[in-house]
Amino acid sequence: MSIDTAPTGSIDTTRGAARFRTIGASDLRVYPIAMSGNVFGWTGDDATTNRILDAYAAHGGNFIDTADSYAAGRSETMIGNWMKSRRNRSSMIVATKVGKNAENPGLRARVLTRAVNASLDRLGVQHIDLLYLHIDDTEVDFEETLLAVDELIRAGKVRFFGGSDHTGNRLIEARIASAMVGVAPMVALQNHYNLMHRSEYEGDLALVAAQQRLGVMPRFALASGFLTGKYRQKSDLSTNRRGAEVARYLSRRGLRILSTLDSVAKAHDSSVASVALAWLLVKPNVVAPVVSASRPEQVDDFAAATRLQLSRQQVSELDRMSS
């Protein structure tokens, strides 16, 4: 699939250089890059986390993505502490995921409710703006899970919800179940999608996302760092903890994609990472790629992607080289 049209949904031009986007059928208006908390409490300590989030907020960022399983919940705690210390909860859109935490695994109603309450406590907030079902728990009927989520929405503990590990067929089943039991449907989808990993989304998932008006948040948007351009040869893999994850991308195809990114980046006097994210941002229904940073300086490249205007020819060339 080679599509370079802009995502659907309204766009807000009133908040700085970046155009804020609406997530699906919700009223959540977010910065077009989501800051992931997956390294907070793992490779990032409190001080580093605060500097990264400060840098993100300084660019106008307002969309923070975490999960109750990241660093066994430590990520949520660190994000909550940052918002409390900066007194900026009202200006942030907080997304978290439940289903994978060792203390509350799966999506049975009582477990899901317990997990959300635990996340609220760790984050130190009254509500979660966007709750993702972190897994597709096929052992639990969708009706049970959806009714539990709806109860949390009615209680004011969750505003909107989405899926994070669902196939197109399962999203259709979830939408049918929502209609049958009369509860709010999903508004968002988080999935693996980047220049190195396209087929999973660009098949049934893209079609279903369009049909259901789901806002799409690509995870692993920079392919574990490969699409930053810092991995060019095998010797580079040993310099980073994610070297083993990146090794599979160090192929002829991967180097061909990096070469194309290099050319486009040079034309825009930009970074490779910025171009890779800008490519995602022109894909249908993509709202905000989810990225993580180990240093606050990296946030500059993420923010630059929101202002980068790729030409149709450049998008087509990236499509062709990564197909």
Q: pLDDT tens digits for 123-143? A: 999 999 999 999 999 999 999
pLDDT, position 244:
75
Mean pLDDT of 7-25: 63
Q: Is 23 left (phi over 0), alpha (psi -120 to 50) or beta?
A: beta
- Rounded CA-CA distance 24/30 in Å is 11
pTM: 0.93
Query: Rounded distance, CA 186 to CA 209, Å?
Result: 10
Q: For the chain, what is the mean pLDDT?
A: 93
C-alpha to C-alpha distance for 282 and 286, rounded to whole angstroms: 7
5: pLDDT strictly greater than 50: no
> How many helices (DSSP H) and strands (DSSP E) are in the chain?
12, 11
pLDDT of 256 reads 97
Q: What is the pLDDT of residues 197-244, one digit of tens each?
A: 999 999 899 999 999 999 999 999 999 999 999 988 887 777 666 777
Specify the amino acid at residue 282: V
Q: What is the pLDDT of residue 13?
A: 35
Q: How far is CA 256 from the centre of its chain?
A: 26
The predicted model gives 289-313 an average pLDDT of 97
Interatomic CA distance for residues 239 and 274, integer angstroms = 22
Sign of CA dihedral 66, 322, 10, 56: positive
DSSP string, 24-42: TTSS-EE-SSEEE-TTBTT
Average pLDDT for 54-78: 98
Average pLDDT estimate for 252-276? 97
Q: Is the pLDDT of residue 304 over 70?
A: yes
Please state, in angstroms and as integers, the Cα–Cα distance from residue 120 to each residue in 76, 114, 124, 128, following that order: 9, 10, 6, 7
Confidence check: pLDDT of 6 > 90 = no
Q: What are phi and psi of 217, to 5 degrees?
A: -115, 95
